[in-house]
Each structure stands twice: as structure tokens, then as C-alpha cells.
Amino acid sequence: MSATSGGPVAEDVRRRILSMLAVGTLRPGSRLGTEREMAENFAVSRSTLRSALLPLSQAGVLERRTGRAGGTFVRADVVQRNAGELVGLPARLRSGGHTSATRVLGTDCRAATPVESRALEISDGTEIFTIRRLRFADGVPLSVDFACFVAAHMEDLLEQPLGGSLYELLRVRYGLTPATTTETIEVVTASPREAEWLDIAHRKPLLAITRVTRDDSGRPFEYAYDLFRADRVRLTATSHGTVGAVRRSVNTA
């Protein structure tokens, strides 16, 4: 980036931003602020600030977002996820060179609702465990996951560490290995609570994935509802041969 792009003062602002990225003061998804806030923080005019930010935006380092929660943000890298895959999200992120983290938002032991009972093929009111988690990619909120499991199949599940891959935990501790999964994908809007968790504005679009996972005997053992930030998601579908043999994938940023 040349010092002629806004002059030496703008170049100094760019170098300061890149330096903060290099040392980790700024991370993917970090908010730098509004134009007025940044001009004050860097002690430059707003026109100089625009000249400093433009090359960074063009290079894909920064992005502008509008709305009440808008401003200039460090752009997050793209994460790829295949719909219907039988791999936990941490493994998917690692394979793409990303860091992953999980915050458990809540767990519960309660009677299954009619919807949950139908999905898990159990009687209404059967005891289930529920786990709600916030997932991060490269330090940025990526999704809110809500999963239900039949309590009788894994009686001490909620006593286990729940911050990693649940599929790996189920395989090692309970001998449950996912064999097939069916996913339904739709677009919904974020509730105030979901928006707060995912650090987005209220009513922003989310990609909702409803999933039923079965073991090798065909018995469903997981019913899940995952919400991904739709501003960082692409959907692709690839058809193989005959009608009905369709493989779908979703790329999440």
C-alpha cells in the first residue's frame, strides 16, 4: 500500500491498524468503531481516515456494516462446512486452518416436547438432555447450537466436559457413532437474545439448520437446531447422477 494513497498521515493510520492486527490487539470480527470514533481515536480528519481505510477495505482486511450496531470491522476469514457431514465443528475448523472455541450457554434435563419426541422417535414426555452452546471461529461468534439427546442413552452426559466435539464425546464414552444425518435448512431472523450472543443486530438473518442424527442401527440419538450468522454463509448444492441423489454443502464464514 503506497504512501500516496491519502498521503503519509493516512499511511501511518494504515500501518497502525496492520500493527494492531499483527500483535493481536485487533482480531477477526473486531469493531474499530464509527467513522467519527476512529477519526478521534487516530487524531486525524475524517477525510484522511477514509483515505486510510479504503485500501484496507479493497484488500478485504476491513468491512463496513450499516445499522445501529454498524461501523468498521476486521473481516473474518471464510469457514467451510458441508451440510449433512458427520464431523464436529471443531474438527471442521481445524481442517480449514481456523481456531475454534465454545461457550456452554446452558444445559437442562427435562421432558421432551412433542416436536422433540417425534424427531427422536420416543414417547412424549421422555426425559432428554439439552445443551445450548455458542461457537466461535477465529475468536468471532459463528453459531448458536441447541442439541437434544435421550437421557437413557447417556445418563451422565451433563457431567462431562461439553466444550469440544459432542460427537467425539458420544463415540468415546457411549459408543454412539453417527451413521446418517438429515438436515433441513431455512433462513430465520435473530431474536434479541440470539443477536446478543452472535454480536449482530436484532432481526438480522440467520441460517437455521435442523438436524436429526442416527446411529448405525438407524436409531435417532440427536435432534439439533443450529443458528449460523447468515452474513457469513454461502450455500452450494452438487447433483450426482440420478434425480434425488443430491449432495448439499454450506460454506460459513
Q: Which domains does the chain have, with CATH numbers?
A: 8-74 (1.10.10.10), 79-236 (3.40.1410.10)
- Quote the pLDDT of residue 236: 57
Q: With 60 as the cut, is the pLDDT of residue 10 above it?
A: yes
CA distances from 9 to 6, 105, 225, 248 (A): 7, 45, 49, 48
Q: Report the candidate in 204, 248, 240 with the shortest Cα–Cα distance to residue 80.
A: 248
Three-class DSSP category at 201 = coil
- Name the pLDDT band for 196 (thresholds 50, 70, 90): very high
Residue range 116-174, pLDDT digits in tens = 999 999 999 999 999 999 998 777 888 999 999 999 989 999 999 999 899 999 999 99
Q: What is the pTM of this model?
A: 0.67
Residue range 58-111, pLDDT digits in tens = 777 788 877 666 788 887 655 555 555 656 666 666 665 667 889 999 999 999
